[in-house]
Amino acid sequence: MMVSSIRPQASSGLSAYAPPPGSKNLASPEPADEVSLGTRILEAAEPRRLRKGAGVLAGIGLALTLTGVVQLMPPAPAAAVHCASSNVVTGHGREAVLQCEGVTSPTELKNPQNRAQYAFEALRAELGPLSNLSEYQGRKNITAWPLGQVLAASLDTAKLTGDYTDFETLSKQMDRYLTPGGGYAPGTIGLFGNGDRYFDDNAWIGLVYVQAYAQTGNTEYLARAQSTFGFMETGIQPDGGILWVENSESPSYNTCTHGPAIELALRLYQATGNEHYKDRAQKLTDVMDSKLRQADGMYADNYNLGSGHVDPKHYSYNQGTPIGAHLLWYQVTGDEHHLELAKQTAESSLKEFTPEGLWKASPAFNAIFLRNLIQLDPKYRDVLDTHLEHAWQHGMDPGTGLFNASDMGQYEHQPGKMGTIDQAGLTQLYALQAWPASDLHQVS
């Protein structure tokens, strides 16, 4: 929701979109016991491209058998191409999108909805099928965090077309990462998720489902978001902070976990009215701002619980979710202080993430940053529009529709290979560029 149209909520703190009758029955059960998890596996300060090492297990052993079964099954149905404005259905695939504007090259496409569909069709064709996505070109068996961002891209696009076929297909794939103990693991073996679970992965996935509920009113999606947050509570520590990953030998508090966890908790509070979510969000916010917020309003990467060391590196997505978190606090409470904190983070971030800085950052990170930024104030639409026009004209390979320009930032850091998560990030942004401003409050 943009600041120009924001009205402080009533004292209940409920959002402008009302849940369907009976949804309060889905409110969270009693709070999970706070636990300190055991030690094993990863260093907290590893580079982002290596942090999902446990997910490499995807595709090993029984997963190979499952992949074989999937390949023998009939292909999943694909969403049709719906031309912007007219909503004419032209068929499937990249060529069908070109027909919407009567052009022969994707560089000639002008409408952001059509651009979003073209980018998604390129993902499907070059990195798919959706039922068996690649992590990046040359590596099959996608892990949970990139898959969640593809799920988000399909949801953002479905808002424009009304066709949720791809979202439903990807949601079924997401179910394979669920673990018997709750939560989504980074990889899969057989029918279940495998590997130490990342609490930030679960936050991102939970945010997709709470947005799906806001878009559709389907309480099944709300229940999924609530269940995901219920697992995340097992990572909350006695001071109210949340770990990055379970079983770490070097446990840490990370902005990439706290920011989306706060957003998820507050959106669940808005949807259900359950004070437990608001209480959790308050404690998470206190820890995030005391441990990770810097004097200029920007947020550091992580705080090591053992040494007390703060890693000061800045990532664009780590500025986006605190902006979104404090904006949500403003919506819930009407407290102008939260709005000022969000504005300070935004202005400081844009001094570092200039057009050149955004170009060098991962598109997946930029998607999270910019989707929160445009909800804060309409003036930031210029940042989004400038970045997306440059990406379309200079970052995309017109032969494939993939954004693999050699000087463009990457999440995977695989030269010459397109990462699914970055393609999904840009698809999200082109879709959101086409969303009505009045609906942006649904975006999480």
Q: Which two tokens stand for residue 11?
A: 């004292």
SS3 409: coil
Sign of dihedral through CA atoms 242, 247, 248, 251? positive
Mean pLDDT of 15-27: 36
pLDDT digits (tens, 9 = 90+) for 387-443: 999 999 999 999 999 999 989 999 999 988 999 999 999 999 999 999 999 999 999
Mean pLDDT of 315-334: 98
pLDDT digits (tens, 9 = 90+) for 219-275: 999 999 999 999 999 999 999 999 999 999 999 999 999 999 999 999 999 999 999
Furthest CA-CA distance within the chain: 60
pLDDT of 361 above 50 = yes
In which band, very low, low, confident or very high, does the pLDDT at 90 lie, cut at 50, 70 and 90?
A: confident
The rounded distance, in Å, linking the Cα atoms of 325 and 263 is 5
The rounded distance, in Å, linking the Cα atoms of 405 and 394 is 7
Tally of CB atoms within 10 A around 51: 22
What are the distances in angstroms from CA 241 to CA 34, 39, 252, 259?
Answer: 10, 17, 10, 11
- Residue 75: predicted pLDDT: 72
The rounded distance, in Å, linking the Cα atoms of 163 and 155 is 9
Q: Hey, which bits of 123-232 come out as E strands?
A: 134-136, 139-140, 187-189, 192-194
pLDDT of 34 above 70 = no
What are the distances in angstroms from CA 422 to CA 65, 238, 282?
Answer: 28, 36, 32
Say if residues 401 and 106 touch (Cβ distance below 8 Å).
yes
Mean pLDDT of 282-292: 98
In which band, very low, low, confident or very high, does the pLDDT at 88 lie, cut at 50, 70 and 90?
A: confident
- Residue 73: predicted pLDDT: 54
The DSSP element (H or E) to which 252 belongs, if any, is strand 252-254
- Residue 154: predicted pLDDT: 98
Say if residues 291 and 307 touch (Cβ distance below 8 Å).
no
